[in-house]
Amino acid sequence: MFRLVRFVFKAIFLVNLMSLAFTAGMGAALLLQLRQQQRGWGLVDGGDERDVPGDGLVAEPDLVETRAIDIDAPPAQVWPWLAQLGYGRGGWYSYPMLDRPWNPAGGPPSESAEGILSEYQDLAEGDLVPTHPQGGFEARIVQPDEALVLYLDDDMFRQQMGEALDEMVDAVDEQGRSPELDIDLEMPPYQVSWAFELQPLAGDRTRLIERLRVHIEASPSQWRARPALAVGLFVLLRSQLLGIKRRAEGEEED
């Protein structure tokens, strides 16, 4: 039984993203079509060279994805959707198929919240924004109505999984049983920052800029998967931006 824990403890957020990337990139025709969309959809002036809060958290990224969307609502109306991001919170506002693994609050397991959840609006720097029951991102920059930056690295992951493992061992000990755990927490060093910036526009509108910066000490053969990863991230970030826009503008789901 406890050997199954190995799978749980290896399911880090970065691996989830790569899994989504391969799923989204399946099929040569679909891949080519998405690449065409990827080149222009939601790009901001200056592209990845434009400064966004939290850029310094991952100083030497191997992958940078920057997208933006204009929302017909002021920043104060968009911010609550960002504040409640996370597993067991508001979800991730992506396609239901991609949201399903996160099992968010506010709806069935395949849906993100469709309303503001007041119990998750007091997000502060240092708080956990979960990606799964054992842990997730840390909120490194929290500027209401302006910017939210999440961060995760391999050291944080090992600490989170170590704490979860200790709790599991204690629970088994209380039952008078001896846990047989076979867990390998070794992984390549990595850093991930996920930034959301809210820029006010004329007419009580908002430009939401989303940037993902990833550094991972992967082998050259592992980085051959980068095109599929980039396309998968494009699908994920695009659907998330559209999901936030629809909710902030108060539109009904199709």
Distance between CA atoms of residues 34 and 25, nearest Å: 8
Per-residue pLDDT at 5? 46
Is residue 236 helix, strand or coil?
A: helix
Measured between alpha carbons, how far is 138 from 130 in angstroms, rounded to an integer? 8
Mean pLDDT of 101-128: 78
Lowest mean pLDDT among 16-20, 120-124, 216-220: 16-20
Question: Considering only 72-76, 89-93, 144-148, 202-206, which range has the smallest mean pLDDT?
Answer: 89-93
- Maximum Cα interatomic distance, the chain, rounded to a whole number of Å: 65
- Give the per-residue pLDDT at 6: 44
Residue 11 reports pLDDT greater than 50: no
Q: In this predicted model, which residue has the larger pLDDT, 99 or 52?
A: 52
Give the tens place of pLDDT for each residue, 139-195. 999 999 999 999 999 899 888 887 767 666 655 556 666 555 555 556 788 999 999
Q: pLDDT tens, 195-243?
A: 999 999 999 999 999 999 999 887 776 666 666 677 777 778 888 999 9
* 217 or 13, greater pLDDT: 217
Residues in the chain: 254
Whether this prediction's pTM lies above 0.85 is answered by no
pLDDT attached to residue 124: 97
Give the 3-state secondary structure of residue 47: helix
> To the nearest whole number, what is the mean pLDDT of the chain?
77
Dist. CA 123–CA 209, nearest whole Å: 19
Q: According to DSSP H, which parts of the chain are helical?
A: 5-9, 13-24, 28-38, 75-83, 96-99, 154-174, 226-248
pLDDT of 12 over the 70 cut: no
